[in-house]
Structure 1
Amino acid sequence: MKKKIEQIAKWLGTKTSFKGIEVTGASINTRTLKPGDLFIPFRGENVNGHKYVEQAFEAGAAAALWQRDEPNPPENLPLLMVDDCEAALQEMARAYRDELSVTVIGITGSNGKTSTKDLVASVLKPYFKVQKTQGNYNNEIGLPLTILSLDEDTKFAVLEMGMSGFGQIEFLSELARPDYAIITNIGEAHMQDLGSREGIAQAKFEITAGLESHGKLFYDGDEPLLLPFVENFPQAVSFGFDDNNELTVTDIKATENGSSFLVSGIIDAAFTIPVLGEHQVKNTLSAILVALEAGLSEEDIRKSLKDAALTDMRMQIIKTEQGATFINDAYNAAPSSMNAALNFIRETTMKDDKWVVLGDMLELGENEQAYHEALAKNITEDIAGVCLYGPRMKWLYDKMAPSFKGELLWSEDDYAPIVSLLKEKITPDSIILVKGSRGMALEHIIEPFTGQ
């Protein structure tokens, strides 16, 4: 965004006596603010950003918003007076989006949003100017900031859309107006807020609310809960493992360098990605569909997918100096993604000595005990050892303890016993899956083995 302060004032329906000041970005944090940014002060329960407005100007802010009911605005600074700073941020993003000729790809789903975002961006980036959501900027504040960060000549914007309740995805979709929308899957995350997987499906389908009239929805066709929503939605295109999907995948093979697979339907071709897991292969199908819409050839797609770069901690291969291999999937976890990762470790032939380190799954609501216990059926006798971390994993430990014949350890809040057991037991022939919800920070268990 490169706009004069007068233009921003016009967007917001306010006035300014300052003229000619160029604003080149937006920031809500003085620690990451860049010279030329518009500083947006939010009032939270514990912090009032208006206290940092003068500090923002000292750091190089070109201008700042100021909420009208906030007393004592500093004098002689280029402030734009607004009724509500959050609403003003969203209105700026809406106005800027209207001016751009960018193609927007919106992505939502219970799991796999970030991996899919990375895969879509990776497949397009060698051929177009692409920008994507950074970090977890996928909510009612992060998404507008992402839109305002787009360069005017960006060809594709890959925007992640998250939520915790009904109406949020609808709001984000209508703000971003995607040309293409992707629903990765329907899992159990936010069950406590949405009540059921049916409710989650309904909330995720809200991504179509702002879909452009020429747009298309790419969705997980293996998920029956989406069928009632897509049956009367002609722009919907399905992908998945089932033969009935319009793009399907077979012959998935795992190697120490990633996954190879065949796709058929809309396109018949072979591809490889530098990441493991059948669920990541399924995520790749939506990236292939977007690439085809962008006019890329089969060979173009093959070349870019081969070098795709995913955010760390998504089935990330980490090889230790001792020869053991960690699969770091510790960014997040829900029952569906946890079982997908367990399926991978059970079926892989990469190494024979298989271990799993599992952390609590959070935000599962009243059925969280049953979800944790149900993981036991996916942990078979060919797993040499299971290390469990967190208070909720005690349920899985108690479920497994009477019959599991391998190493079994549970630690409520200390990584050290798990690290100690792994150091004692793993060998160069070991592969260790590490997965849990973000709040469990299981990457700390890997760090002692990589010298970090």
Structure 2
Amino acid sequence: MKFKVEELQTLFPDKINSKNTVSISTDSRTIASGQIFLPLSGQNFDGHDFINSVLDKTESISSFCEKRKLHKVNEKHKNNLILVESTLDSYHKLANFYRKKINPKVIVVTGSSGKTTVKDLIYTVLSEKYKTHKTEANYNNEFGVPKTILEMPEDTQVLVLELAMRAKGEIRYLSKTAEPDIAIITSVGTAHIGILGSVEEIIKAKCEILEHLNSKGLAILPNNSKLVEYSKSTWKGKSFIFDNTAESTQVINSTIVSKVASELGMSQAEIQSGLSSFK
């Protein structure tokens, strides 16, 4: 993805030392001329530790930097910084801007189980008709979702995102960036009960996926009475409730995907062709 400098200036006030168009890199090892460094931080790493080495390569490159970590940057490089409160929030801000710029139909999928298969099946079926981009590997968290969005080709018509959850508030954060048109919860299990404490709290966390759903969009939910009832407090739009007691997972997944595809205007023949080609 590339951004015009003036586009970035509408998002971030600091001067950007570049002309025309630039791209964003979160990897200090591969950053090239014309890219802006965006250092991310995790439990065992901090990209801010590499700002100096990145800016030593060429003075023409800027770097994002959290204000509280300004002390890590050499004085000679401080005029090349885009100062922000959070580089992760900035990453998501960039991703949301790009999502709106390309403006594909966005489908998000979460669930205690089955979300990866459903995501891949949706991608396969929709690719019969549309230029479709999806979450690869395990890029389904706070780092992977913006990465997936920003790697979306400019001619993408449908974006399919898998959203992972480790704690309350995470899906809300991811769905705010994605701004989905269709939101899917595949299942509600007890995988996170040690973190969230109860099935009721897991349901609340899963339903965060509905909070930023397009008001004219579609929620696809399993026939779980507690989840369906709670979803009504968050989502007032159109819903499709699928039977999650079917004898095979394949039938459940096909039901979900067929609804998504028909919602996007695909014919039964196109849907069947896509389902048949899935491996």
Cα distance in 2 for partners of 1:162, 1:129 equals: 24
Q: What whole-Å deviation, never above 9, does each CA across 1:287-319 have from its counterpart, x for those lacking one? A: 11111011111111111111124xxxxxxxxxx
Q: Would the aligned equivalents of 2:18 and 2:61 in 1 still touch at CA under 8 Å?
A: no
**TM-score when scaled to structure 1?**
0.55
Rate the CA distance shift 1:231–1:42 in 2: closer, same or farther, 3 A.
Answer: closer
Whole-Å separation in 2 of the counterparts to 1:35 and 1:189: 44
Residue in 1 aligned with 2:5?
Answer: 5
Superimposed CA distance per residue, residues 397-430 of structure 1 (whole angstroms, 9 cap, x where no aligned partner)? xxxxxxxxxxxxxxxxxxxxxxxxxxxxxxxxxx
* Residue in structure 2 matched with residue 352 of structure 1 by the alignment: none
8 A Cα contact 1:6 1:19, kept in partner: no
Q: Higher Cα Rg: structure 1 or 2?
A: 1
Secondary structure of the corresponding residue to residue 77 of structure 2: coil
Percent of pairs with identical residues: 34
Supply the distance in 1 between the matched residues of 2:30 and 2:134 (Cα, whole angstroms): 18
**Residues 348-401 of structure 1: per-residue CA shift (max 9 Å, x gap):** xxxxxxxxxxxxxxxxxxxxxxxxxxxxxxxxxxxxxxxxxxxxxxxxxxxxxx
Please state if 1:240 is matched with 2:253. no
Kindly provide the amino acid, as one letter, of the partner of residue 229 in structure 2. P
Shifted more, 75-84 versus 103-112: the winner is 75-84
Partner deviation per Cα, 1:123-143 (whole Å, 9 max, x = no partner): 011211111112222222222
Q: 2:227 maps to what in 1? A: 226
Q: Residue 280 and residue 77 in structure 1: after superposition, are their counterparts in 2 closer, same or farther (change >3 A)?
A: farther
Paired amino acid for 1:294 = L
How far apart are 1:208 and its partner, in Å? 0.6
Distance 2:255 2:148 in 1: 25
Equivalent position of 1:29 in the other structure: 27
- Conserved in 2, the CA contact under 8 Å of 1:14 and 1:82? no
| Equivalent position of 1:300 in the other structure | 270
- Which residue is equivalent to 1:15? 15
- Equivalent residue letter for 2:15: K
User: Which residue identity is paired with 1:122?
Assistant: T
CA distances 1:60-80 after superposition (whole Å, capped 9, x unpaired):
x96431223322345398542
AA at the equivalent of 1:67: E
Aligned partners of 1:187 and 1:103: how far apart in 2?
28
Supply the distance in 2 between the matched residues of 1:124 and 1:55 (Cα, whole angstroms).
43
| Deviation for aligned residue 1:19 | 3.7
Equivalent pair of 2:52/2:77 in contact (CA under 8 Å): no
Tell me, in whole angstroms, the C-alpha distance in 1 between the residues paired with 2:151 and 2:123: 16
1:52 maps onto 2:50 in alignment: yes
Asked if 2 retains the 8 angstrom alpha-carbon contact of 1:42 and 1:49, the reply is yes
SS at match of 2:184: strand
CA distance in 1, matches of 2:105, 2:186: 19
What do residues 1-60 of structure 1 show as CA deviations (whole Å, max 9, x unaligned)? 2112342232123323x2415223x3323356577543211244543312323555659x
Q: Does the CA-based 8 Å contact 1:39-1:64 persist in structure 2? A: yes
1:4-403 to structure 2, matched below 5 A, reads 4-16=4-16, 18-24=17-23, 26-31=24-29, 37-53=35-51, 55-56=53-54, 58=57, 63-69=62-68, 70-71=70-71, 72-73=73-74, 75=77, 78-221=80-223, 223-230=224-231, 233-241=236-244, 278-309=248-279
Distance change (3 Å), C-alpha of 1:9 and 1:68:
farther
SS at match of 1:65: strand
Deviations 1:142-179 (A, max 9, x none): 22222222223210000111112222212222221100
Matched to 2:86, the amino acid is: D
Letter in 2 for 1:145: K
Gaps of 5+ in 2: none
Measured in 1, the distance between the counterparts of 2:30 and 2:261 equals 33
- Secondary structure of the 2:138 match is coil
Shift of 1:285: 1.8
Measured at CA, do residues 192 and 27 of structure 1 come closer, stay the same or move farther in structure 2, by a change above 3 Å? farther
Report deviation, 1:186: 0.3
Q: Which has the higher helix share?
A: 2
Structure showing greater relative contact order (alpha-carbon pairs closer than 8 Å, 6 or more residues apart): 2
Equivalent position of 1:336 in the other structure: none
Q: Residues 7 and 241 (structure 1 numbering): CA distance in 2 closer, same or farther, change over 3 Å? A: closer
Cα distance change, pair 19–34 in 1 and its aligned pair in 2 (3 A): closer
> Which 4+ residue blocks in structure 1 deviate beyond 6 angstroms?
none
Q: 2:187 aligns to what SS in structure 1?
A: coil
Which residue of structure 2 lines up, in the alignment, with residue 440 of structure 1? none
CA distance in 2, matches of 1:167, 1:183: 16
Query: How far is the alpha carbon of 1:225 from its aligned partner?
Result: 2.6
For the Cα contact (< 8 Å) 1:27–1:145, is it kept in 2?
Answer: no
How many residues get paired?
A: 272
Q: 1:174 to 1:21 in 2, by over 3 A?
A: same
Aligned-partner Cα distance in 2 for 1:64–1:100: 25
Distance of 1:76 and 1:228 partners within structure 2 = 53
Q: Decide whether aligned partners of structure 1 residues 305 and 32 sit closer, same or farther in structure 2, where only a CA change above 3 A counts.
A: farther
SS in 1 for 2:92: helix
Mapped to 1, the partners of 2:230 and 2:222 lie a distance apart of: 12
